[in-house]
Chains A and B, each alone.
Chain A
């Protein structure tokens, strides 16, 4: 049986993309898989009794070494902020390509804590900073120093000791450009070095908390229990900075979604499901419920989604248990058709993620195809005709072409870069100044404009001729020729309308990172947790690939 890939016009709607969940394709999971047989080492740990100083951790294999350099600093409580406007943090990190010399460490000691205003070099690959969850960190230190383990309930509510507020890579602030490292097989998957940084930072947080507790009371202190460590991740606060990324990298976005869609299609096409595979699917599904019931958020928007997810999942599990027959042919296809008919978008995408769990043979090769050589698709094929471009627009954007942008509510917002922090922001064009400096992220509006403008040209005209007097639409002409070959490259929604929920864009990206427990703090930023439940670095050799569902939290 041949199953069609899901329609991009459905899947690429923001509400659907904002319902995606982590899966086997997620970058933090594929990172662990790739680096499980690398040698992990703590190379340096020079912290004072309060936990301030330098530490270095590394992963190495043959001649390749990646070193995380951590700088922990004293931070006045009044200076601690998760907002991007902060200028100081509890700790700052960089992932160094190779083994740093003393000179490198001295140089980086001056630059890394400054983050955006520091200067990095081609030797550094990624850059980040993090703040303590002071309440949790102090509690853990207090308890450990008295020889007792911390309150699990408190830890469960927060889920981490530190949260990062940004992770930079790909040439930002002088970091190595991607072209320098793109041919390394171990980093074929996107964001692999960013994942490595976060993962090693997590280990640093455990080592630091143990170190501070021990110095507080050398006689009584105990280390944080390994199982408790495993159930702590790294928090992350994420704002709008992430949203434009998925618009600005169309072929990359396509490759992410296409990997997910191809996996689903192949699973639906399996004729006979092995018992061990259906058992694993059911086991992961049931265990994962714990992740949802322990999902804490004050956001009403998210609470509604969680409630509907729990309700739908219970109905779905009931459907499975009341006689669903996995020995029937194409059982996963039947399951998919059932959830598509009976469940919300949140639940559909949740089950799609679960369906991948038994299928390493399908998922692993796809995980290696999720990067993109974006420059290869940059040139516009100007020899092609207006007729051809029109066809592309009508085939790929027909819903967008129906939006009326003369209606204020469809044209309400504009995206801009803030002068203060050089970060993307969203504002009302009718209430705020600055819309003349709008970023090219209103793709739906500009595609519609392109369609209207093309109608004034002869079908046989070349794109070269059209562009001569229409350079203002060049950016969307480029995109249209990209979507022709990359159907999942474009959000099929209006990104400037009144009803835009920007965190849908953030959540899409974060789900591919592998984040759990999205906690929107407004419609424009959210907190998440990464690596909660993941094996510790010295457990990587023989770890359970389904660790995501084995968390105690």
Chain B
């Protein structure tokens, strides 16, 4: 089994070799490490993308807008990912961002995961019919469980989820009421002696 350190180093060097700058290559190394750590096929997708990249053109997207379309070629997932990450504070308020035709979209995913940590919000990523819930770069919840290469996503969307509870007030109160069963009813003498502070605010 390869260690995550080996995965990071080899991905970084391969990214540099294929033509990305060292700084971008460092990002890719960290990203593939992240994918593999979460059990997603990072190496497989990166390797395939680089094999295709040698003989194909991919389009860059410098400025991320609400709706992003490729003009001539498929979008490069690393370029789009880098700019998504770098511009995350500006695009956070757009609510939802969509992309058409991102090549090897799994390579875009870790940028979104890291962006979730930067802005402190959960992000919902949809790659065609596959859905991913990215929580602060700490977990990835998904219906994508196969170890496969996804070489193109016709439609990708990223939704910025508001920080809100996943339960209603009634559910919370029911649980809170139960939690109070660990408390002790105070008798008069306990009220006098149980707390460390005095009984008036002025003592």
A155: Cβ under 8 A from any B Cβ: no
Residues of A contacting B4 in the complex (Cβ-Cβ under 8 angstroms)? 171, 177, 179
| A171–B21 touching, CB < 8 Å | no
| B5–A171 touching, CB < 8 Å | yes
Q: A122 with B3: in contact, given A379-B118, A382-B89, A464-B90 (CB under 8 Å)?
A: yes
Q: A177 with B3: in contact, given A382-B87, A474-B21, A475-B23 (CB under 8 Å)?
A: yes
| A467–B86 touching, CB < 8 Å | yes
| A176–B3 touching, CB < 8 Å | yes
A466 and chain B: residue at smallest CB distance: B86
Residues of B contacting A471 in the complex (Cβ-Cβ under 8 angstroms)? 20-21, 23-24, 82
Give chain B nearest CB distance to A259 CB in angstroms.
24
B83: Cβ under 8 A from any A Cβ: yes
B191: Cβ under 8 A from any A Cβ: no
B172: Cβ under 8 A from any A Cβ: no
Residues of B contacting A383 in the complex (Cβ-Cβ under 8 angstroms)? 89
Give the docked Cα–Cα distance between A172 and B20 (Å).
24
| A177–B5 touching, CB < 8 Å | yes
A478: Cβ under 8 A from any B Cβ: yes
Give chain A nearest CB distance to B134 CB in angstroms.
15
A106: Cβ under 8 A from any B Cβ: no
| B30–A378 touching, CB < 8 Å | yes
Give chain A nearest CB distance to B24 CB in angstroms.
5
Range of interface residues on chain A?
Answer: 35 or more
Give chain B nearest CB distance to A505 CB in angstroms.
19
Give the docked Cα–Cα distance between A178 and B87 (Å).
31
A468: Cβ under 8 A from any B Cβ: yes
A23: Cβ under 8 A from any B Cβ: no
| B30–A375 touching, CB < 8 Å | yes
Give chain A nearest CB distance to B176 CB in angstroms.
33
Residues of B contacting A175 in the complex (Cβ-Cβ under 8 angstroms)? 3
| Chain B at the A interface: SS class | helix
Residues of B contacting A375 in the complex (Cβ-Cβ under 8 angstroms)? 30
Give the docked Cα–Cα distance between A173 and B1 (Å).
9
Give chain A nearest CB distance to B68 CB in angstroms.
14
Q: A122 with B118: in contact, given A469-B62, A478-B23, A478-B26 (CB under 8 Å)?
A: no
B4 and chain A: residue at smallest CB distance: A177
Q: Which residue, B22, B82, B87, has most C-beta atoms of chain A within 10 A?
A: B22
Give the docked Cα–Cα distance between A471 and B81 (Å).
13
Residues of A contacting B21 in the complex (Cβ-Cβ under 8 angstroms)? 471-475
Give chain A nearest CB distance to B112 CB in angstroms.
14
Residues of B contacting A467 in the complex (Cβ-Cβ under 8 angstroms)? 82, 86
A328: Cβ under 8 A from any B Cβ: no
A175 and chain B: residue at smallest CB distance: B3
| B62–A468 touching, CB < 8 Å | yes
A327: Cβ under 8 A from any B Cβ: no
- A-B pair count, CB < 8 Å, reads 77
CB-contacts of A435-484 with B (<8 A): 439-440, 462-464, 467-469, 471-478
Give the docked Cα–Cα distance between A178 and B6 (Å).
12
Range of interface residues on chain B?
Answer: 20 to 34
A120 and chain B: residue at smallest CB distance: B3
Give the docked Cα–Cα distance between A122 and B89 (Å).
38
Q: A172 with B86: in contact, given A379-B118, A475-B22 (CB under 8 Å)?
A: no
Other-chain contact of B86, A122, A382, A476 (Cβ < 8 Å): A382
Residues of B contacting A417 in the complex (Cβ-Cβ under 8 angstroms)? 13
Residues of A contacting B2 in the complex (Cβ-Cβ under 8 angstroms)? 174
Please encode chain A, from 513 to 549, with 1 for each CB lying within 8 Å of some chain B CB and 0 for all others: 0000000000000000000000000000000000000
Give the docked Cα–Cα distance between A477 and B24 (Å).
11
Give the docked Cα–Cα distance between A121 and B2 (Å).
8
B114: Cβ under 8 A from any A Cβ: yes
Give the docked Cα–Cα distance between A176 and B3 (Å).
7
| A172–B22 touching, CB < 8 Å | no
Residues of B contacting A474 in the complex (Cβ-Cβ under 8 angstroms)? 21-24, 26-27
A380: Cβ under 8 A from any B Cβ: yes
Give the docked Cα–Cα distance between A178 and B86 (Å).
28
Residues of B contacting A176 in the complex (Cβ-Cβ under 8 angstroms)? 3
Give the docked Cα–Cα distance between A177 and B5 (Å).
6
| B23–A472 touching, CB < 8 Å | yes
Give the docked Cα–Cα distance between A102 and B10 (Å).
33
| B22–A440 touching, CB < 8 Å | yes
Give the docked Cα–Cα distance between A119 and B156 (Å).
39
B23 and chain A: residue at smallest CB distance: A474
Residues of A contacting B20 in the complex (Cβ-Cβ under 8 angstroms)? 471
B2 and chain A: residue at smallest CB distance: A174
Give chain A nearest CB distance to B41 CB in angstroms.
19
A-B contact pairs, 10 of them (CB 8 A): A122-B3, A170-B5, A171-B5, A379-B85, A467-B86, A468-B62, A471-B23, A473-B23, A474-B21, A474-B26
